[in-house]
Structure 1
């Protein structure tokens, strides 16, 4: 089944178009070298828990982006095996850690072809992403994808975070689209797919891990952007 009569495409950034794992690995490698840690895999596991918990607090506006980055770094410094103290101000190290993460994210191998494919369709294409302005803008710059989009909506700029309906309706208003002629593409059922469907927006769930079954007829699930392109599912 294809998604038809589409005039506007909203697409997520992190874990949809780009992988952030490489950026985290690069930053954690620098951190491990600085503080004499050797078990990088354990550090990565601990970091995922710390990062996910604090990022939710940031999205819910319980902490600022500066506080989020600082607290994340402070919690990393509490990992077993760290005996030395910070070599410079914690704020500077925390900001540097975030910069390394953002500058080392990478596009998935099917993302560039898919963006070129959508651009050839002459639809309005917009990026709809949660996160701080500086971090998301840095990723877009490093990935060299900004020119593909008619509009870029970053929660840190607009003030509207997914899954809030306002994040989607604001994008539709700017693009002059309607739910019926718009499709949302993203990896998160909670943040991307369910809120879009609730507004009547067509939706495609990107499950690269192929771990989630989809019994819901209200949206499609695919394992790659290449599948969308090769099957011409958006037209």
Structure 2
């Protein structure tokens, strides 16, 4: 691959293991709120249903189809509804409890710290995330990730979500970088990969589940430590 100066990373599902951290959080909240007694008989079904709904709502948020408030209002209400719970039985404050607890979890994808330490010695590293400021700050500090990144670009502060080209333009301007010397690394084909490629910036698709790679995506990795050999 060509020589780069600036590496731009996504955070959730790329470095910070969102699904694993969410699963730990949901296990705890399931017990804390007595969901079995409220009719949610299966913890596994609860987590699977939430994960499916949350992924879809985040995809809609990336594309500007729903707001932050709508995402937070819908993901558990829809999950409990899908599982047959009467709306009157939905525990008050469940979403708030989740938002408080989940970002404190510290599970990262394998080789995250080793890879970032290596790359930090050679490149200028930055984050571009569609996550929310109050959550991302807690994740970065608690996981010891903040020290690697010169700039942390958060979509709700910029006013545009990935894949909108304006957020990539803002990130490059902030970093003092050009498209030619920059590359985006992330898990979302729509937000990270096509967002960057359509902007004219190279991209690496982080694909730990080894999903089929579209033919128009030039480079993929299945593990973060592959970056130490590619870059």
Q: Shared topology, TM-score over 0.5?
A: yes
2:109 and 2:224 in contact (8 A); partners too: no
Cα distance in 2 for residues equivalent to 1:198 and 1:134 = 29
* 1:125 Cα deviation from its structure 2 partner: 1.0
> What's 2:117 paired with?
116
1:69 and 1:98 in contact (8 A); partners too: no
1:21 and 1:105 in contact (8 A); partners too: no
**Pair 1:39 & 2:42 matched:** yes
Root mean square deviation of aligned Cα: 2.2
* 1:126 Cα deviation from its structure 2 partner: 0.5
Aligned pairs, number:
225
> What's 2:16 paired with?
18
Distance 1:97 1:107, change over 3 A: same
Cα distance in 2 for residues equivalent to 1:211 and 1:135 = 28
> What's 1:65 paired with?
68
**Pair 1:193 & 2:190 matched:** no
**Pair 1:85 & 2:89 matched:** yes
> What's 2:227 paired with?
228
**DSSP-derived class of the 1:215 partner:** coil
Measured against aligned partners, the alpha-carbon deviations of 1:171-225 in whole angstroms (never above 9, x if no partner) come to: 0011111111101111122111122122221211111122223533x63112212
Measured against aligned partners, the alpha-carbon deviations of 1:54-81 in whole angstroms (never above 9, x if no partner) come to: 3344445555434422332322332546
**DSSP-derived class of the 1:183 partner:** strand
**DSSP-derived class of the 2:81 partner:** coil
Q: Which runs of 5+ in 1 are unaligned?
A: none
> What's 1:53 paired with?
56
Distance 1:53 1:225, change over 3 A: closer
Cα distance in 1 for residues equivalent to 2:146 and 2:6 = 17
Distance 1:200 1:54, change over 3 A: closer
Distance 1:105 1:63, change over 3 A: farther
Cα distance in 2 for residues equivalent to 1:56 and 1:35 = 27
* 1:144 Cα deviation from its structure 2 partner: 1.4
**DSSP-derived class of the 1:106 partner:** coil
Cα distance in 1 for residues equivalent to 2:63 and 2:211 = 28
Cα distance in 2 for residues equivalent to 1:93 and 1:114 = 36
**DSSP-derived class of the 2:152 partner:** strand
1:23 and 1:100 in contact (8 A); partners too: no
